[in-house]
Chains A and B, each alone.
Chain A
Amino acid sequence: MKRQKVTALFMTAVMAASLLAGCGDSNEQASGAGQSAAGEAGSAGADEGGKKEIKEFTAFFGVPGSEINDDNEIQQIIAEKIGAKCKETWLTGQSAEEADGTLIAGGEYPDFIGSSGRLLDAGALVALDEYLDNYPNIKNFYTDEEWDKIRQEDGHIYWIPQFGNIWEKDMTTTHNDEAFWIQTRVLKWAGYPEIKTMDQYFDLLERYVAENPTMENGTPNIAYTILCEDWRYFCLENAPQFLDGYPNDGSVLVNPETLTVADYNTTPTAKLYFGKLNEEFKKGIVDPESFTQTYDEYIAKLSTGRVLGMIDQWWDFAYSVNDSIKVQGLEDEGCNYVPLPLTISEDVKNQWRATSPDGTLNATGGVAVSVSCKDVEGALQFIDDLLSPEIRRLRAWGVEGVDYEVGEDGLFYRTDEMRMKVADTAYKASHLCSYSYFPQYGGLDADGINAASPGEQPKEFLDSLPVNVQECLQAYGCSTYIDMVGTNDEPGPWYPMYSYSNNMTTATPGGTAWIKMGEIKHEWLPKVVMAEDFEKGWDEYMDVYAACKPEDFLAEMQEELDRRIQLAEDSKAE
Chain B
Amino acid sequence: MGKTKQKENNQRTEITWKEIKRQKVLLFWAAIFVVYGFIFCYVPLAGWLMAFQNYKPQLGLLHSEFVGLAKFRQLFEDAAFLRVIRNTLAMGVINLAATFVMAIVFAILLNEVRSKWGKKSVQTISYLPHFLSWIIVTGILHDALSSSGIINELLLKSGILQQPLNFFAHPKYFWWIVAFANVWKETGWNAIIYLSAITSIDPCLYEAAAIDGAGRWAKIRHITMPGIKPTIMILLLMNVGNVLNAGFEVQYLLGNGLVKSVSETIDIYVLKWGISQNDYAIGTAAGIFKSAVSIALIVIANQLAKRAGEERLF
Contact = CB atoms under 8 A, between A and B. Distances in A.
A547 to B, nearest CB: 9
B226 to A, nearest CB: 10
- For the residues of B in contact with A, the DSSP-based class is helix
A219 to B, nearest CB: 11
A101 interface: yes
Contact of B257 (A107, A288, A291): A291
B37 interface: yes
A14 B41 contact: no
Interface stretch (B61-69, B112-120, B277-285): B277-285
Nearest to A236: B257
Given A6-B200, A29-B283, A292-B166, A523 B258 contact: yes
B169 A22 contact: no
Contacts of B124: none
A25 interface: yes
A488 interface: no
Contacts of A515: 277
Interface string A91-103: 0010101100110
A169 interface: no
Contact of B238 (A18, A233, A291, A506): A18
Contacts of B257: 228, 233, 291, 522-523, 525-526
Given A7-B311, A229-B256, A291-B256, A101 B276 contact: yes
Interface residues of A, number: 53
Contact of B57 (A11, A122, A506): A122
Contacts of B135: 93
Contact of B275 (A3, A26, A101, A107): A101
A107 B164 CA distance: 48
A294 interface: yes
B238 A14 contact: yes
Contact of A289 (B146, B260, B267, B276): B146
A23 B276 contact: no
A387 interface: no
A347 B257 CA distance: 35
Interface residues on B, range: 35 or more
B98 interface: no
A574 B222 CA distance: 94
A10 interface: yes
B234 A10 contact: yes
Contacts of A105: 57, 275, 280
Contacts of A210: none
Given A7-B230, A98-B271, A122-B57, A288 B238 contact: no
A559 interface: no
Given A26-B45, A228-B257, A101 B197 contact: no
A573 interface: no
Nearest to A220: B148
A118 interface: yes
B307 to A, nearest CB: 19
Contacts of B33: 16, 19
A149 interface: no
Contacts of A22: 41
B142 A97 contact: no
Contacts of A525: 257
Interface string A19-56: 10011011111101000000000000000000000000
A235 to B, nearest CB: 12
A4 interface: yes
B40 interface: yes
Max chain B C-beta neighbours (<10 A), residue from A2, A29, A30, A229: A29
Contacts of B169: 288, 291-292, 526, 530
A552 to B, nearest CB: 16
A228 B259 CA distance: 13
A121 interface: yes
Given A14-B235, A29-B274, A523 B260 contact: yes
A294 B142 contact: yes
A97 B283 contact: no
Contacts of B52: none
B58 A6 contact: no
A292 B257 CA distance: 8
A505 interface: yes
Interface of A: 1-4, 6-7, 10-11, 14, 16, 18-19, 22-23, 25-30, 32, 93, 95, 97-98, 101-102, 104-105, 107, 118, 121-123, 228-229, 233, 288-289, 291-292, 294, 297, 505-506, 515, 519, 522-523, 525-527, 530
Given A14-B235, A506-B273, A530-B258, 16 more contacts: A10-B193, A10-B231, A14-B193, A19-B37, A23-B37, A25-B245, A29-B47, A29-B284, A93-B135, A122-B58, A289-B146, A291-B256, A505-B278, A523-B260, A526-B169, A526-B258
13 contacts: A4-B9, A6-B197, A10-B197, A11-B234, A23-B40, A29-B47, A98-B271, A288-B169, A292-B166, A292-B168, A506-B277, A523-B260, A530-B258
Q: What are the 6 A-B residue pairs with the smallest beta carbon separation, nearest first?
A: A101-B275, A97-B276, A123-B58, A292-B168, A122-B57, A522-B257
